[in-house]
């Protein structure tokens, strides 16, 4: 673990949209947003090479970051506002009032930039100082906090902590790309694919549907106290490390051919996403001494194009539904574990034709004597996070920090743009060593 004195805060400030650019505005939470109200915020970090002195960064580049952030917030006003729960309301809402702003911390680190942005295993706590806390109380929750940490003569990173009730992965990535675009160009206008769409009246729900379930404060008293915005306390397992694993395009093609050896009816979905999730799941199961008979993998599906009427891809908020892949532990550990896992994902994808929102009306059951806790995924290789260029080139590394508390894997496209993927994991150190060996050996055997 890096010494705590290696991070030095240089400035705390707040950045607001340009004066009088936005009037007071409120946004209701839809049933897509409500499940995330009490869950841990999402934390990500983007590393950029910048081989200049601190003085040059602070006096030349930092003012551009601050000014472009202000210009961006006039488009993304909900991130400058707060999540509140009015006493007379059955559910929370996002409210922006004149003067609201985003917390921005400027810090300096003497840690090794390339070590922190590498793929190798390292203690999870080394990355925690790079992301800011998000102020949250029972009655008020910020939706966004930012931190810029400079590494003298090497680079800088942008740490983002964002409330999941305000955005999903698609929306948060759009915000970062918009900020980067304005910083790079100096122009406050945005291209159509980066302009957020806020109209929530297009999201319909029946009276006994998902919104009724999720907005009910008695839904799960252990998790949701009445009208409290305080998030559940999530802690990473002790002695945890963080690592990034890569699957090249050639690796993915070999996984596809392995699955195709066993002809399946109906045809299987063998996309990069499915093959990656299936292979990581198999490696995790084979590397762990699981004692329970059944497994679950939670798949988050983007609903924008699947609603009636469909929403624009630029819809800003949450628009994902969680669906469950089930499997027997012995099957996943078996010789054809990869094919069985892919078949499970394919079954869920085929089932989407019967209704994207069916599973949102059901709570995910808690682990039992027969069933392991569900494993999930954050981010997506479709988001193309490595296109987030602030004017100094593509990120050296994009990483999700909060997976050490959620227990999920993160997935992004490979930085080189060659069709591969990067997988982020946070595991106990011994489990990570076994997983790394299983992952590498499995690819060699293809």
Return the active site residues: 164, 389
Show Cβ contacts of residue 190 under 8 Å, excluding neighbours closer than 6 positions. Answer: 75, 178, 181, 182
Please give the Cα distance from 341 to 283 (Å, whole number): 11
CA-based nearest residue to 362, from 323, 407, 319? 323
Please give the Cα distance from 394 to 14 (Å, whole number): 26
DSSP 396: S
Longest dimension (CA), the chain: 63
Contact status, residue 424 vs residue 403, Cβ threshold 8 Å: yes
User: How many residues can be counted in the chain?
Assistant: 446
Cα-Cα-Cα-Cα torsion 146, 149, 150, 156, nearest 10 degrees, comes to -70
Looking at the DSSP bridge assignments, the partners of residue 302 are: 320
Q: Is the dihedral of CA 34, 40, 41, 45 positive or negative?
A: negative
Please give the Cα distance from 61 to 287 (Å, whole number): 45
DSSP 295: E
Tokens 């069709």 belong to 419
Tokens 């908020």 belong to 317
Cα-Cα-Cα-Cα torsion 301, 127, 157, 382, nearest 10 degrees, comes to -20
CA-based nearest residue to 311, from 413, 171, 412, 190? 171
Paired tokens of 158: 């942008």
CA-based nearest residue to 68, from 188, 171, 191, 177? 188
Please give the Cα distance from 136 to 388 (Å, whole number): 28
- Mapped onto helix, strand or coil, the DSSP state of residue 269 is coil
Please give the Cα distance from 436 to 58 (Å, whole number): 39
Cα 272 to Cα 87, 171, 203, 292, 380, distances in angstroms = 46, 22, 30, 29, 11
DSSP 296: E
Q: Is the dihedral of CA 244, 399, 137, 225 positive or negative?
A: negative
Please give the Cα distance from 379 to 412 (Å, whole number): 6
């Amino acid at each position: 673990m890096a010494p705590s004195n290696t991070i030095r805060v240089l400035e705390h400030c707040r950045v607001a949209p340009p004066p009088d650019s936005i009037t007071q505005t409120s946004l209701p939470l839809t049933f897509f947003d409500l499940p995330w109200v009490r869950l841990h915020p999402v934390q990500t970090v983007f590393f950029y090479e910048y081989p200049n002195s601190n003085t040059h960064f602070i006096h030349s580049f930092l003012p551009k970051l601050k000014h472009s952030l202000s210009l961006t917030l006039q488009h993304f006003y909900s991130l400058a506002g707060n999540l509140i729960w009015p006493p007379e309301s059955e559910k929370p809402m996002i409210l922006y009032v004149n003067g609201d702003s985003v917390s921005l911390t400027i810090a300096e680190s003497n840690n090794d930039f390339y070590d922190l942005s590498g793929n190798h295993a390292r203690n999870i706590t080394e990355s925690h100082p790079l992301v800011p806390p998000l102020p949250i109380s029972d009655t008020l929750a910020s939706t966004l906090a930012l931190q810029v940490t400079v590494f003298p003569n090497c680079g800088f990173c942008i740490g983002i902590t964002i409330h999941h009730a305000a955005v999903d992965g698609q929306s948060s990535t759009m915000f970062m790309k918009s900020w980067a675009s304005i910083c790079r160009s100096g122009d406050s206008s945005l291209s159509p694919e980066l302009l957020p769409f806020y109209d929530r009246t297009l999201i319909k729900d029946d009276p006994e549907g998902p919104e009724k379930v999720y907005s009910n404060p008695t839904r799960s008293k252990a998790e949701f106290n009445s009208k409290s915005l305080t998030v559940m306390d999530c802690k990473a397992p002790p002695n945890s490390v963080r690592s990034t694993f890569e699957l090249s395009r050639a690796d993915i093609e070999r996984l596809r051919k392995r699955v195709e050896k066993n002809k399946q009816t109906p045809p299987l979905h063998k996309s990069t996403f499915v093959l990656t999730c299936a292979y990581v799941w198999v490696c995790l199961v084979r590397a762990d001494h699981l004692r329970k008979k059944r497994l679950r993998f939670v798949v988050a599906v983007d609903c924008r194009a699947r609603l009636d009427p469909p929403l624009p891809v630029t819809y800003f908020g949450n628009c994902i539904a969680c669906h469950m892949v089930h499997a027997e532990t012995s099957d996943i550990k078996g010789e054809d574990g990869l094919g069985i896992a892919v078949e499970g994902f394919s079954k869920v994808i085929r089932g989407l034709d019967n209704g994207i929102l069916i599973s949102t009306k059901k709570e995910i059951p808690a682990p039992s004597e027969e069933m392991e806790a569900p494993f999930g995924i954050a981010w997506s290789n479709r988001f193309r996070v490595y296109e987030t260029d602030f004017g100094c080139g593509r990120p050296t590394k994009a990483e999700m920090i909060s997976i050490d508390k959620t227990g999920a894997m993160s997935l992004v496209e490979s930085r080189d743009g060659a069709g591969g993927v990067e997988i982020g994991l946070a595991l106990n150190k011994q489990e990570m060593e076994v997983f790394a060996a299983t992952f590498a050996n499995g690819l060699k055997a293809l």
